[in-house]
A = this chain, B = another copy of it.
Amino acid sequence: MASKKFNNVYIKDNVSIVGPLEKEGLLKNYDFSIDDYYYGEKTFEQAEIKMQNVVLDNLLNYNKLTDSKIDLLIGGDLVNQISISGYNASKYRIPFLGVYSACASYVEELIIGSSFISSKLAKRVVAITSSHNLNAERQFRYPVEYGAIKKHTTTFTTTGAVATLLTNEETGIKIESATIGKAIDMGIKDTNNMGAVMAPAAADVLNTHLVEMKRNVNYYDLILTGDLGLVGKEIFTEMLDKVYDIRIKKYMDAGSEIYTSSQETYAGASGPVALPLVLFDKVLNCKKYKKILVIATGSLQSVQLANQKLGIPGIAHAISLEVS
């Protein structure tokens, strides 16, 4: 079974940082922001490492925790060999597990962390992720200086980082259950249309979650997807309707909640940090939703395999939050 119910797993705290464009956008409740993409470092990669460093340092400080009080750090990012997370982890004396499911990495981290806490193998786990627009552009597309033309289906990688503290102590946000998604390849070869790559995986994991947990979609006050974007959202809701007979109403995609319409970010925000930024900044902050299903979505491409013109697999993982 792909779905798991957890015992005594809670979100205790989250610290976030956002980039120059993000702080001019729709987000309001982040903890830190940066004014330029270098963040005082020599390279964009080192700036991204520093963003992870700042959110983790502050998470530990706010909660009066030292490294030895954290049982496990789980991290992932988009840079090759998730090297941002690996290099940041080396600044701490905390056991580290690296994960990768592209922009679904953050929810993968929550699922693995919840498994360790639920089984009493850990008491406190930190999930960390980040993305940096210029690192992603240079690695997956072209350096922005080249001025390559964008398609309307292209999403815009969010600059930012979050560190989230999971604990076995009761708080107002419970991680109740999760469904691990399957990698699904529908034959789409266009790396500038990740919404279409990821939508079938998101629809599959939502359907699997509802069937295995014996729930109706209206059980949830909100379904929050990660970064399907304008194009992916339409495919997602249409597939739910036509393939799975699920009519989704209380629905939000984090990709549409970061930038204003005048910010020219094409189909919307993407990157592993987009989802947790919106989750904490907006969804959990407004106290409006009690039962939330969070579905992170990832496109499992690499430059090597995308250039070989194979279909790109998409993936999505779901986690159910209960707010009291």
Contact = CB atoms under 8 A, between A and B. Distances in A.
Interface of A is mostly: mixed
Contacts of A181: 95-96
Interface stretch (A100-108, A217-225, A278-286): A100-108
Given A98-B101, A182-B93, A308-B46, A300 B4 contact: no
Interface string A3-30: 0100000000000000000000000000
Contact of A100 (B45, B82, B301): B82
Oligomeric state, in copies: 2
Number of chain A interface residues as a range: 35 or more
Contacts of A112: 97, 112, 115
Contacts of A93: 182
A81 B301 contact: yes
A216 interface: no
A183 B80 contact: no
Nearest to A88: B183
Interface stretch (A71-79, A165-173, A251-259): A71-79
Nearest to A204: B93
Most buried by B among A80, A115, A183: A183
The 3 A-B pairs of least Cβ separation, nearest first, read: A119-B119, A86-B300, A90-B313
Interface of A: 1-2, 4, 42-43, 45-46, 71-72, 76, 78-83, 86-87, 89-102, 108, 111-112, 115-116, 118-119, 121-122, 135, 139, 179-185, 300-305, 308, 310-311, 313, 315
